[in-house]
Structure 1
Amino acid sequence: MHTINIRKAHPNDLEKLLEFEQGIITAERPFDPTLKEGKIHYYNIEKMISAADVELLVAEIDSEIIGCGYARIETAKPYLNHETYAYLGFMYTNENHRGKGVNSRIIEALKDWCHSKDISELRLDVYNDNSPAIKAYEKVGFKKHLINMRMAL
């Protein structure tokens, strides 16, 4: 069994991270009819790598990048009982390495970073019909909190 190493993303990881971003978009297209056709981008990955308020991590096995995820510090709404929280996103595991706990290892490392920044609240978005992702997030402790609804006119 190979060891999964979690580390901070570097600029030389950009090509692989852009590939992962397209993997996420491909997986999410069936859940979101509002996405534009053709190639799109969710993230400014190059900026995220160097941003002070973002921790972008990659998972590796034998120096091969197999997954990623980030935490971004956000200001909470003034009526909430916490001033800041961490928004998690860009959670991706290469299909050949799913089921090995990669996502949970990345989330654990992001939680450690959040603790070091005195963050006590984590949030993320997941499509309502994406049962495998919901199950994975619930497995590491997330609970459903709010449903975002939409209507096309």
Structure 2
Amino acid sequence: MLIVEIAKPSSPGPRALLEQSHAMMRDLFPPEDNYFLDLEELCGPDIRFYAARDGAETLGTGALALKRGYAEVKSMFTSEAARGRGVAAAILRALEDEARGEDITVLRLETAEALDAAIRLYERHGFARRGIFGDYRPNATSVFMEKILSPVAVQNG
């Protein structure tokens, strides 16, 4: 059964996936176009880090970086064996729920044109391309996306 929960980036399962993700990014893109957060940054007070697991096996990671006026989706990565099983979608839903819980209505992210599956995932979940934001520098690699979150409906007792 898939469980998505708050986790520590330095725990063995999440750490192994983050190291795989960082290695992949280093292989695919020049250093100046890599904007991933390292383990220390992922432990910061404005980061909400999640991991998806099935039993003891960590299948994916994702984080929400709380910013002024929005939150940024970071560190989305799914193990190769878990791809196509809905893991990334489940993590993304958890991050959206976390953002709503923090009264954040705008999610943004940076990904890369070369990461077709990631772009398709984000588009399926309502993200649209937008211009550069935050501290990012213009480059030929990055794709910037945004999603406006609808508020959670309040039910009357």
Is this a same-fold pair by TM over 0.5? yes
Q: Is the 2:64–2:95 Cα contact (8 Å) retained in structure 1?
A: yes
* TM-superposed deviation, 1:30: 4.7
Which of 10, 14, 28 lines up with 2:25 in the alignment? Answer: 28
Instruction: Name structure 2 gaps, 5 residues minimum.
Output: 141-157
Distance across 2 between alignment mates of 1:34 and 1:45: 17
Deviations 1:41-86 (CA, angstroms, capped at 9, x unpaired): 943425534x4321100001022111110001112xxxxxxxx101
User: Would the aligned equivalents of 1:31 and 1:127 in 2 still touch at CA under 8 Å?
Assistant: no
Greater strand proportion? 2
Partner of 1:91: 76
SS state at 1:107 partner: helix
Amino acid at match of 1:19: A
Find the aligned partners of 1:26 and 1:45 in 2 and give their Cα distance: 13
RMSD: 2.6
Report the Cα distance in structure 1 between the residues aligned to 2:139 and 2:52, rounded to whole angstroms. 34
TM-score normalised over the length of structure 2? 0.75
TM-score (norm 1): 0.76
> 2-side partners of 1:88 and 1:62: how far apart?
25
Instruction: Establish whether residue 139 from structure 1 lines up as the match of residue 124 from structure 2.
Output: yes
